[in-house]
């Protein structure tokens, strides 16, 4: 009876120690991650380093808990005997577990591969399939992307590692922003182009001509993904103001 209680006490202490250690290290990594995120925003650190820190934090947390649970249950003699028998048939067990958890392990391995090779990083603007958005987090099994329309898209890491990803900011943090304005068909399009070209560092061109009018696009580089909405709004407002000043009525493209 005393030996049974001793096993329970030992297992409980082991679990508590593992949980406490995991929490302490997780909080340390969290504080480090917040400082690193600020450094990335200020340009003092790279997004790749932030992405690696996130995955290392989660791997370490999961590893400590798994080892702690394994050590705790090993305190019981029946469990040790069962584990010995299972290990004796480890080949069969490996096959069974491999088939049962193939998808989980595939996502986990793909997540580690994504962090090492870094085709995407936290904060990157990417296009995956038909969706474009900003990478919010890279986790052990899934990657979280915030789409342009506000949706959060959760993508299995295996899909990311096996598919073509268009990363708009992998080399240059600047993002191309494009807005459209319309002028009536009878308006002087040459004058409109001249007026809109007053925008510094912008490219202006006629994108479409139909019976309802002429669509003109103005494109410019935003310094970062975070500022592209602000840059687009300012670019559109100044374009409309210039057209109004010249007496060219216009409407925004939806």
Could you give the percent of the chain with pLDDT greater than 70?
Answer: 80
pLDDT digits (tens, 9 = 90+) for 11-61: 788 888 888 888 888 888 778 777 767 666 655 556 667 777 777 888 888
Calculate mean pLDDT across residues 123-132: 89
Average pLDDT across the chain, whole number:
79
Whole-angstrom distance, CA of residue 144 vs CA of residue 109: 17
Reported pTM = 0.58
Query: Does residue 102 lie within any of the structural domains?
Result: no
**Residues 179, 156 share a domain:** no
Q: Which residue range(s) make up the domain with 72? A: 2-88
**DSSP E strand boundaries for the chain:** 125-128, 131-138, 142-147, 152-156, 165-167, 175-183, 203-210, 213-222, 251-252
In a domain, residue 108? The reply is no
- Look at residue 136 and tell me if it is in a domain: yes
Q: Assess whether pLDDT exceeds 90 at residue 145.
A: yes
Residue 161 lies in a domain: yes
CATH number, domain of 157, equals 2.30.30
């Amino acid at each position: 009876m005393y030996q049974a209680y001793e096993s329970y006490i030992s297992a409980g202490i082991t679990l508590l120690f593992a949980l406490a250690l995991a929490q302490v290290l997780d909080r340390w990594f969290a504080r480090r991650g917040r400082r690193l995120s600020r450094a990335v925003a200020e340009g003092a650190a790279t997004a790749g380093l932030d992405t690696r820190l996130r995955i290392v934090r989660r791997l370490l947390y999961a590893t400590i808990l798994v080892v702690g649970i394994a050590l705790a249950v090993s305190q019981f003699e029946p469990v040790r005997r069962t584990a010995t028998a299972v290990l004796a048939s480890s080949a069969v067990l490996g096959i069974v577990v491999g088939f049962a958890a193939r998808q989980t392990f595939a996502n986990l391995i793909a997540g580690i591969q994504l962090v090492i090779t870094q085709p995407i990083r936290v904060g990157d603007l990417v296009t995956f399939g038909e969706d474009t958005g900003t990478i919010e987090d890279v986790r052990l099994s899934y990657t979280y992307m915030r789409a342009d329309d506000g949706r959060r898209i959760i993508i299995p890491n295996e899909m990311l590692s096996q598919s073509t990803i268009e990363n708009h900011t992998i080399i240059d943090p600047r993002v191309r922003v494009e807005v459209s304005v319309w002028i009536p068909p009878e308006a002087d399009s040459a004058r409109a182009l001249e007026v809109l070209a007053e925008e510094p560092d912008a490219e202006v061109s006629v994108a479409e001509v139909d019976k309802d009018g002429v669509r003109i696009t103005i494109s410019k580089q935003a310094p970062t993904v975070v500022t592209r909405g602000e840059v687009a709004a300012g670019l559109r407002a100044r374009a409309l103001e210039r057209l109004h000043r010249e007496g060219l009525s216009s409407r925004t493209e939806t």
